[in-house]
Chain A
Amino acid sequence: MLKILTNLKNLYRYRVLIQSLVVRELKARYRGTVLGFIWSFFNPLLLMIVYTIVFGYIIKPRDPSIGGSPWYYALFLFSGVLPWTWFSSSSLESANVLMIHGNLIKKILFPAEVLPIVVVTSNFIHFLFGLPILLLFVLIFGKSWTIYLLFLPLVMLVQYIFTLGFGLLISSLTVHFRDIKDILANLLTFWFFATPIVYPMTFETIAKSRALKIFLNLNPMTHIMQGYQYSVFYGRLLPWKRLSVTFGVAIILFIIGYYIFDRLRDSFPEEV
């Protein structure tokens, strides 16, 4: 535990490196495209438009908790998919990141945890680019911004720590067990549907089944996603008790992830 703290303090010295690598990552992503940075806004915007057409015009799902207007479902979906994308892209990229930057680990002296941190952070910034689109559509569809939007940073913090812990775990284990990469891709699909993103927690079937409810509540991502949904979509106070527990879980995951990463660190230069 103490070692983790000193390590993290050392990491602070590398903040400029993390910052430059994140900037590099973001710049490199759209390098060579005509629209460049605008894509960061355009991608979520187009996704939102597709959702609106499919769920607002074609399917029109009705659930009492989502509300009367058929437009609302697209908004509900989007408020979950946006942060989920941050989580899933970060996890998938983390699985590869040590191998992709193998020559850095082998040839340059710097703490390897910088790499998963950069992955999670640059995906976080991407998420931040999409957030205004989400907030804009809240107004377009006739809902209003509430004071509870101020809780968003808190939810993001919990998700950041949870994602980073998961990323550290995945990235270090994948070095030794490459199969994790493929397992992870499937796991994430499953995880996505095991989290109330396409359906609300109050959905009829779930409300009836106790087992299903317990199962969903055991999933930390449930509470993080609900944090977003409450703050943005419902405009209500998020279930802060559950989110606090999730915060604790996130910190524990981070410590476990960091511990394993640290233990395996010395094997990276020869295994990546």
Chain B
Amino acid sequence: MYAIEVDNVTRIYQKYSARHRFQTFKSALLKGDLFRALKPDELVTALDGVTFKVRKGETFGIIGENGSGKSTLLKIIAGITKPTSGTVKTQGKISALIELGAGFHPEISGRENIFINGIMLGLSKKEIQEKFNEIVRFAELEDFIDAPVKTYSSGMYMRLGFSIAINVNPDILLVDEVLAVGDAAFVPKCLDRIDDFRRRKKTILFVSHDLATVKKICDRVAWLKAGKIMTIGDPSRVVDAYLQDVMERQEREFERRQEELRRQAEIRKKEELQDREERRQAIELRGEALTSRETEKLEVEKGKEKKREEEVRKEEERREQRWGKREIEITRVTLKNLQGQAKHVFSPEEGMLIEMEVVAYSRIEDFVFGIGIFNSQGIYVYGTNTHLEDYTPISIEGEGKVVCRIEKLNLINGTYYLDVATHKRDGYPYDYHRNLYSFLVTSTHRDEGITRLPHTWEVTDNIKLKPPEVKAVAGKANQ
């Protein structure tokens, strides 16, 4: 038995331009063909041939990036918007948690708003009266229920909206990302309520970016991308496929950004070189036929120019975050996974290779290679070098490659910046790259701090602790 049947639903949004509107208005007035004239000049396909069925009592998740059509789909199922083509069949009373407290009037009290909002959601006055205390209690608003809603904090507003919507007691509950704004105490309470719904075998359609929750509560998940369903099926499989896709996109995005930065740096450098060259030429040109006094003056100017050049180099160093005389130069740094694939987005379970291509322009016998990892707050997360680990340098000459192999990153989610350097044992820098490289760590983990220490939880038998149903497998997706 199906609670929701979505059959080949397509939804096209229409955009009208101002000029078009004017013409429409004109022709509507002149010819009276209002409906024909109301044709849009740009179409946006929000949903494209979406088909799926949700069984009664099933918790069905929908994931996808912003703008992939999730909310449109939910609105169509709720009946708020109509599909351009295709059909939607639903069985039973629907309550849509699309925007909490959407119908609240700020000037009147919470009490009156409960009644009006409840009626809008399809309750009778009597039903609301019966549930009134429960609604207020759940929203934790006993003391404020007679105050105008405009005096509520956004948290109170949301709690009241959720409390009313959940008490409509629908057969089908549509949840759209509404839990994202709740505070730490209220969200678990809401999830409890949704769990309660599941136990009572009600149908839930759950749209969320919170993939961990989706994996936890959904029986099946559909992944929506650009208005099309990519896959439907087992939550962890679909979530993994989605994460994989997101990572690939992030990877591309990251590369694009890096490329952009590199190009900008190059352009800047070129401009500066040109500038310097022009200035020198100008000075020399003037020096051609001059008296001694003028030559003297010119010498001073040349000196000044030299000084300026020195400053420019220093400035360059500061801005480029790179210093050292480059007796040994790090010409290229590549981040790879353990399989040797170059990438910038990693999961905490993955390993990382930091590859440095180096050149020593003469034979050098005192050298150290090192790395440092900083998080986005600038906290020094980890650093080490060959000297600290008691490697003894013997000699380096010509081109070579240095690889730092990290077996498992074990970092929490976030952006990290990388220092790489080569220097003498006493610290004299050959080539020091500060924060020149960065990478991203993403996963469904929600732990906090600086690093993700490898760990497990164990309890004695008298403590009942249910492990998560699905093990986090984000790392698997990349292998």
Query: Which residues of A are interface residues toward B (Cβ below 8 A)?
Result: 16-17, 20-21, 24, 27-28, 31-32, 103-110, 176-177, 179, 260, 263-264, 266-267, 269-270
Contact = CB atoms under 8 A, between A and B. Distances in A.
A-B complex: 9 closest residue pairs judged by Cβ atoms = A107-B102, A28-B107, A107-B99, A31-B107, A17-B119, A20-B116, A109-B79, A177-B25, A266-B82
Contacts of B81: 266, 269-270
Contacts of B107: 27-28, 31-32
Given A108-B80, A109-B80, A270-B14, A28 B102 contact: no
A24 B116 contact: yes
A88 B473 CA distance: 65
B445 interface: no
B257 interface: no
A179 B80 contact: no
A119 to B, nearest CB: 14
A32 B16 CA distance: 41
A106 B340 CA distance: 50
B103 A27 contact: no
Contact of A109 (B25, B35, B96): B96
B434 interface: no
Which of A16, A103, A104, A107: most chain B CB closer than 10 A?
Answer: A107
B80 A106 contact: yes
A72 B401 CA distance: 105
Contacts of B34: 260
7 contacts: A24-B108, A107-B98, A108-B96, A108-B102, A177-B21, A267-B38, A269-B75
A270 B75 CA distance: 11
Contacts of A104: 102-103, 120
B193 interface: no
Contacts of A270: 13-14, 81
Contacts of A267: 14, 38
A263 B38 CA distance: 11
A260 B257 CA distance: 51
Contacts of A176: 16, 21, 24, 38
A269 B14 CA distance: 11
B35 A263 contact: yes
Contacts, number: 74
Interface of B: 13-14, 16, 21, 24-25, 34-35, 38, 75, 78-82, 94, 96, 98-99, 102-103, 105, 107-108, 112, 115-116, 119-121, 124-125, 148
A104 B119 CA distance: 13
B108 A109 contact: no
A108 to B, nearest CB: 5
A125 to B, nearest CB: 16
Contacts of B103: 103-104, 107-108
B21 A20 contact: no
A105 B120 CA distance: 11
Given A17-B119, A176-B24, 14 more contacts: A17-B116, A20-B115, A24-B116, A27-B112, A103-B102, A105-B80, A108-B80, A109-B78, A109-B80, A109-B94, A179-B25, A266-B81, A267-B14, A270-B14
A20 B79 CA distance: 23
Contacts of A269: 75, 80-81
Looking at chain A's contact residues, the main secondary structure is: helix
A202 to B, nearest CB: 36
Contacts of B112: 24, 27
B399 to A, nearest CB: 61
A128 B79 CA distance: 37
A109 B38 CA distance: 24
Nearest to A177: B25
B112 to A, nearest CB: 7
Contacts of A24: 105, 108, 112, 116
Contacts of B99: 103, 107
Nearest to B40: A267
Contacts of B98: 107-108
A176 B102 CA distance: 23
Contacts of A17: 116, 119-120
B175 to A, nearest CB: 13
Contacts of A20: 115-116, 119
Nearest to A19: B119
Nearest to B96: A109
A182 to B, nearest CB: 13
Given A31-B107, A108-B102, A270-B81, A16 B124 contact: yes
A76 to B, nearest CB: 37
A32 B103 CA distance: 20
Contacts of A105: 80
Which of A21, A103, A104, A176: most chain B CB closer than 10 A?
Answer: A176
Contacts of B124: 16
A105 B79 CA distance: 11
Given A24-B108, A263-B35, A269-B81, A16 B125 contact: yes
Contacts of A177: 21, 24-25
Nearest to B112: A24
A245 B98 CA distance: 47
Given A27-B112, A176-B38, A266-B82, A110 B120 contact: yes
Contact of B120 (A31, A108, A266): A108
B171 to A, nearest CB: 15
